[in-house]
Amino acid sequence: MALLNIAPLATSRSRKTRPAIGQRLASAVLAPVLALVLAGGLLATEQRSARAQAPDSIPDLAETLLAAVVNISTAQNVTAQRSVPLPQVPEGSPFQEFFDEFFNRQQRDENRPRRVQSLGSGFVVDGTEGIIITNNHVIEGADEITANFNDGSKLAAEVIGRDPKTDLAVLKVTPEKPLKAVPFGDSENLRVGEWVMAIGNPFGLGGTVTTGIVSARNRDINSGPYDNYIQTDASINRGNSGGPLFNRNGEVIGINTAIISPSGGSIGIGFAIPSEIAVRVIAQLREFGETRRGWLGVRIQEVTDEIAESLGMDKAEGALIAGITEGGPAEDAGFEAGDVVVEFNGARVPSMRDLPRMVADTPVGEEVDVTVLRKGEEVTLKVTLGRLEEADTAAAETTGKQSDDDAKDENPVVLGMTLSPITDELRAQYTIADDVKGVIVTAVADGSSAAEKRIVAGDVIVEVAQESVSAPADVAARVKALKDEDRRLALFLMSNAQGEVRFIPLSIEE
């Protein structure tokens, strides 16, 4: 409309001045208008691009997917434990008979098995075979499992395999006719910001649809050894566990399993197991009823910036081998404590937490090349993977007790640590296992680098800068040599009384 009003204004001027004035008016008015038009066009393009990330019709997509999502209800018989202790009353007291009768009756009631029910979600991946996927924690310990479908039908389900390490479980039902199933999609190439839809059974309400985006990838929430979650802001609440997270094509790219919530409700931080992890686990559970992961037989720790510097590495990457399992594949292949695994089976190892997944995803019995950094040189070792032992190992911590012994010539103080050879008396005093060898720490100075790293009396120095030590003089000599090389840090391999080892970088700058 502004452009149309220019002409009448121009016609009121003389012919001589009209073209010049008209051009100036047109330029003055057209420039901002064209800018607005262009901006509007760009905005419209961006809006169309954003809309393209979501399906053309969310209701249509949800309608096709709801039939494949099930509510999982479980029942379990449990026996309650006495929570209130029996009061102590004097023998023969008039209250004794009363309390005995009251608490005996209460105990009889508590010992009666009670029926406990819980709810979760799941989804069908094989409609002909009746295969349903859910979380392990949804069905763990259940005596009865029922799959409730969106059309109101119910089917009893049995567990054919479960994996606590990834919190996945595979169930089987026997349908009269093929069930609606959904396929898995590609989570490996999933991008932050992509549109997603969650369907589940929050708070037992039944099939509920929520939408959002992928907020982050590769999240480690310290829930297990293979954490690599997709984070989403799609509303996920209690009861959504085991339900699917769909992409815009209706493919399952994640399995909803956890939330962060101070109140118990959704605050927009939910986590889903990526399909790239789930597919491998589910295939093994369906075939074998259990997982069969590769096993290397090493104890590893993170390569920190300090450790990387002490080893002369350009950057912190890979996984530092802190110990070798006796009789394991790594020992047979010639791995050594202090090696840094930088490449596994042709793929770089970005960080410590990546190596367990890479090993676990490799078939049992396969021979692979593993490149390690050893004393500044890359060494390639061939190792045949074993099968991961499923028994959990508990890491015992010892606090030790600091000694008040004064430092002597035979007990030098190095980097704030008073050192001594391991004698029978010290071995007995600190309960050090017979197979632990090295130099014992008998005291640690307050404020020293060793104290900051939580080294305590009773800890044993096994190696300094990847060289074994057997006497206090060896430790002092190694530290001096590193100082002469203008090194800032020395990498100590420390053992506790039980023989469990860890690498600790200590500052050697004065």
Whose CA is closest to 453, among 464, 445, 463? 445
Residue 227 annotated as catalytic: no
Q: Are 173 and 288 within 8 A, CB to CB?
A: no
> Given phi > 0 = left and psi -120 to 50 = alpha, else beta, which region is 269?
beta
Is 137 marked active-site?
A: yes
Picking from 440, 434, 425, the residue whose alpha carbon sits closest to that of residue 499 is 434
Contact 402, 393 (CB under 8 A): no
d(CA 501, CA 177): 57
| 426, 432 Cβ separation under 8 angstroms | yes
User: Catalytic pick from 118, 121, 163, 167?
Assistant: 167
- 118, 241, 275, 420: which one is catalytic? 241
Q: How far is CA 496 from CA 127, 221, 417, 454, in A?
A: 54, 28, 15, 12
C-alpha pair distances (Å), 145 with each of 63, 184, 255: 26, 24, 19
Distance, CA of 172 to CA of 280 (rounded, Å): 18
- Which string of DSSP letters, residue by residue, matches 367-396? EEEEEEEETTEEEEEEEE-EEPP-S-----
Q: Which of 391, 407, 419, 393 is nearest to 475 (CA)?
A: 419
Catalytic residue among 118, 137, 420, 459: 137
d(CA 443, CA 287): 56
Burial-class residue 249 by CB neighbours within 10 Å (0-12, 13-18, 19+): exposed
Based on the number of CB atoms within 10 Å of its own CB, is 29 exposed (0-12), middle (13-18) or buried (19 or more)?
A: middle
**DSSP one-letter code for 408:** B
Would you put residue 23 in left (φ > 0), alpha (ψ -120 to 50) or beta? alpha
Residue count of the chain:
510
151 catalytically annotated? no
Give the list of residues 6+ apart from residue 140 with CB closer than 8 angstroms, or none.
162, 164, 169
Active-site residues, by number, are 137, 167, 241
